[in-house]
Structure 1
Amino acid sequence: MPSIAAYDFPEFIETVCFLKDRPAFALADGTLRLPAGGETSLVLHEGGLLSAVYDSSGKRLLTGGEDGRVVATIDGEQIEEIAAIGRRWIGAVAGGPNGAVGFASGRSAYVVPAKGALKELKHPRTVEGLAFAPKGLRVATAHYDGASLFFPATDAGPAMLGWKGAHLDAAFSPDGRFLVTIMQENALHGWRLDDGKHMRMTGYPAKVKDWSWSAKGKFLATSGAPAAILWPFSGKDGPMGKAPIELGTRGNAMVTAVACHPAEDMLAIGYNDGMILAVRFADSKEALLRRGGSSPVRTMAWDRAGRLLAFGAESGEAGVVDIAG
């Protein structure tokens, strides 16, 4: 049985990541906790944290808060202010190639290149989520009735990708060929970017609240069902006309968090009863990582070596699983 270093925090855990190989837990109260090796606590935002994401290209945590600030931390001990827009809530943040940072507030998305001035991208509706393409300075925003594609280094208008309904978040496939959004309804939607062809990914009994690309980008793993749903993206048509893989099926629980292993075709699956499983893609073999807890697993992240899995739950329960025991 894998060993667990357990922690208990007083607030909802928004996201978890590893900073310089130390597990870091970003809490809704605006603090960042690094409990391993002598606890460190860092105040990221006054008033509360609203959005957080690990920027793998910059090896840093990006967060936005109720204080209208976007900050970054590499080591969990010092923060760098990326932008400040007054007392406006930052509802989404994203990291991009070459040190670029994007964030959203109300009907505007903003892009801050590593070198250069902040650029505002105005929208007719609220920007719910955003993502950077893996190469070049190209950003996608998710909003009502579809997504928009911008080249923020130019003054060109956006390319519109339409689909009726509310789109809450966006992600490019690792090869840059597809854009996928999470919808308010129990579905994902996607577009093949070279021709705009639609991809409908439906059938979920609940909203998709977490997703993770596999190490080689062949699958997109998602929550929102009694099993982790993995959509295939290896072919030229992506998931169009293909059935997804289902892993870790449990008849009495729902998947609430997913995290693909950084090197192997293996997935960590968190459930609404606090259980965590590790499941291999090839043969669906399961390993129990955590028996359960008092609330749904909210967020999970692997360390670079793929040996440690950090997790955080809605109640503040958290921990680090050493899969080697």
Structure 2
Amino acid sequence: MPTVAPLDLEGHVAGVAFLGDVPFFAESSGLIHRLDHGHKTVEAHEGLLSCIRDDATETLLTGGEDGKVLRIRADGTASEIANVPRKWISQVAAGPQGAVAYAYGKTAHVRLADGTVKDFTEERTVEGIAFAPKGLRIAVARYNGVSLHWVGIAGQPVDLEWKGAHTGVTFSPDGRFVVTSMQENALHGWKLDTKPGAETRHMRMTGYPAKIKSVSWSAKGKWLASSGAPAAIVWPFQAKDGPMGKAPLELGTRANIMVTQVCCHPAEEIAAIGYADGMIMVVRFTDSKEVLLRRPGKGAITAMAWNKTGRQLAFGSEAGDSGVVDIAG
């Protein structure tokens, strides 16, 4: 049976991650908690807006209402990557070779390991940013599509156009697809490995009753799980044209309780699914087998992360009730 070690925090949890075996919980207030031989706390920001794990360096990257971008190490020490007074840093991304991207207003900035900063200005506000899995390239989500920029090469960006507001962006692990979440309760995808001069193939993933706040790629990139419905909607990306013409899996269906977070396992084709009532299930893709990890709690699940072995799952909610599930319990 899975066992839950609870951690009660004051407020909304914006991000969770494991650094080594230590779980970290980032509160919107700017406090970052870690369970490392006891409960330890660091005051990182005056208001935290974004928190992600940088796999290349085993650190956290955070952005705040105080205009700071910080790198936080496993021992809780923080170093400043950027400081832009009076700007809100709601987008951060981790890239190869220690590169970090962050954005405010209409400009995305990429800071390289040697301290060089490259700026990429869009015509509209930057809503999402992601690094490609290979090569130093970024995707920037904005109104009416995505811009793809090579960081080290001066040149025109590749524009992937699709009308509407694109609010987040992700590359598939093999780099063949770019997928955005949209304001209009949909995902939109582009196939990147078309022949030069050929038209980019579009993928429309629609039919969601709510906005998609969470997406997660499976370990080998064969599936893309998403929130925004009373089930995790999991699109197949194994075929050369991705999910075009294929129906998604619907996992962990509950009658009227929305899925708010999804998090695919680091090795197996299963996903943790967090709901609006605080419940968490893990579901297998092949046969939809469900295991309850946590009963409903105080608030909607807002963040989840597996440790490297996939035996532990850290989670946080909008009400602050958080914890670590030990699957092997």
TM-score, normalised via structure 2 length: 0.96
Gaps of 5+ in 2: 195-199
Residue 184 (structure 2) pairs with residue 180 (structure 1): no
Q: Distance in 1 between matches of 2:179 and 2:67?
A: 27
The residue that corresponds to 2:281 in the other structure is: 277
- SS state at 1:51 partner: strand
2:242 pairs with 221, 229, 238, which one?
A: 238
The residue that corresponds to 1:16 in the other structure is: 16
The residue that corresponds to 2:228 in the other structure is: 224
The residue that corresponds to 1:26 in the other structure is: 26
Q: Distance in 1 between matches of 2:51 and 2:30?
A: 10
Could you tell me which amino acid in structure 1 is paired with residue 9 of structure 2? Answer: F
Cα-Cα RMSD: 1.0
Cα offset for 1:194?
A: 2.5
Could you tell me which amino acid in structure 2 is paired with residue 13 of structure 1? Answer: V
The residue that corresponds to 1:303 in the other structure is: 307
Of 21-30 and 84-93, more deviation after overlay is shown by 84-93
Of 82-91 and 241-250, more deviation after overlay is shown by 82-91
- SS state at 1:288 partner: strand
Q: Distance in 2 between matches of 1:305 and 1:104?
A: 32
The residue that corresponds to 1:262 in the other structure is: 266
Cα offset for 1:157?
A: 2.0
Cα offset for 1:282?
A: 1.1
| Matched residues, number | 324
- SS state at 2:221 partner: coil
Q: Distance in 1 between matches of 2:175 and 2:311?
A: 28
Conserved 8 A contact 2:20-2:308: no
Q: Distance in 2 between matches of 1:225 and 1:77?
A: 36
The residue that corresponds to 2:197 in the other structure is: none
Could you tell me which amino acid in structure 1 is paired with residue 207 of structure 2? Answer: G
The residue that corresponds to 1:6 in the other structure is: 6
Conserved 8 A contact 1:42-1:76: no
Cα offset for 1:86?
A: 2.4
Q: Distance in 1 between matches of 2:186 and 2:57?
A: 31
The residue that corresponds to 1:108 in the other structure is: 107
Could you tell me which amino acid in structure 2 is paired with residue 12 of structure 1? Answer: H
Deviations 1:147-180 (A, max 9, x none): 0000121221211111011001100000000000
- SS state at 2:102 partner: strand
Conserved 8 A contact 1:24-1:76: no
Of 177-186 and 147-156, more deviation after overlay is shown by 147-156
Conserved 8 A contact 1:19-1:76: no
Deviations 1:15-34 (A, max 9, x none): 00001211100110111101
Residue 92 (structure 2) pairs with residue 88 (structure 1): no
Q: Distance in 2 between matches of 1:252 and 1:142?
A: 31
Cα offset for 1:116?
A: 4.5
The residue that corresponds to 1:140 in the other structure is: 139
Cα offset for 1:60?
A: 1.5
Q: Distance in 1 between matches of 2:22 and 2:254?
A: 32
Cα offset for 1:57?
A: 2.4
- SS state at 1:311 partner: strand
Deviations 1:89-120 (A, max 9, x none): 11200001111110110111000112241111
Residue 196 (structure 2) pairs with residue 197 (structure 1): no
Could you tell me which amino acid in structure 1 is paired with residue 245 of structure 2? Answer: G
Moved over 3 A (4+): none
Q: Distance in 2 between matches of 1:264 and 1:254?
A: 24
- SS state at 2:255 partner: coil
Could you tell me which amino acid in structure 2 is paired with residue 321 of structure 1? Answer: V
Conserved 8 A contact 2:269-2:284: yes
- In structure 2, the CA distance between the partners of 1:49 and 1:62, relative to structure 1 (3 Å rule), is same
- SS state at 1:321 partner: strand
The residue that corresponds to 1:74 in the other structure is: 73
Cα offset for 1:142?
A: 0.3
Conserved 8 A contact 2:58-2:74: no
- SS state at 1:98 partner: helix
Deviations 1:267-290 (A, max 9, x none): 110111111101111111111100
Q: Distance in 1 between matches of 2:201 and 2:73?
A: 38
The residue that corresponds to 1:286 in the other structure is: 290
Cα offset for 1:36?
A: 4.6
The residue that corresponds to 1:65 in the other structure is: 64
- SS state at 2:97 partner: helix
Q: Distance in 1 between matches of 2:124 and 2:256?
A: 38
Of 76-85 and 303-312, more deviation after overlay is shown by 76-85
The residue that corresponds to 1:318 in the other structure is: 322
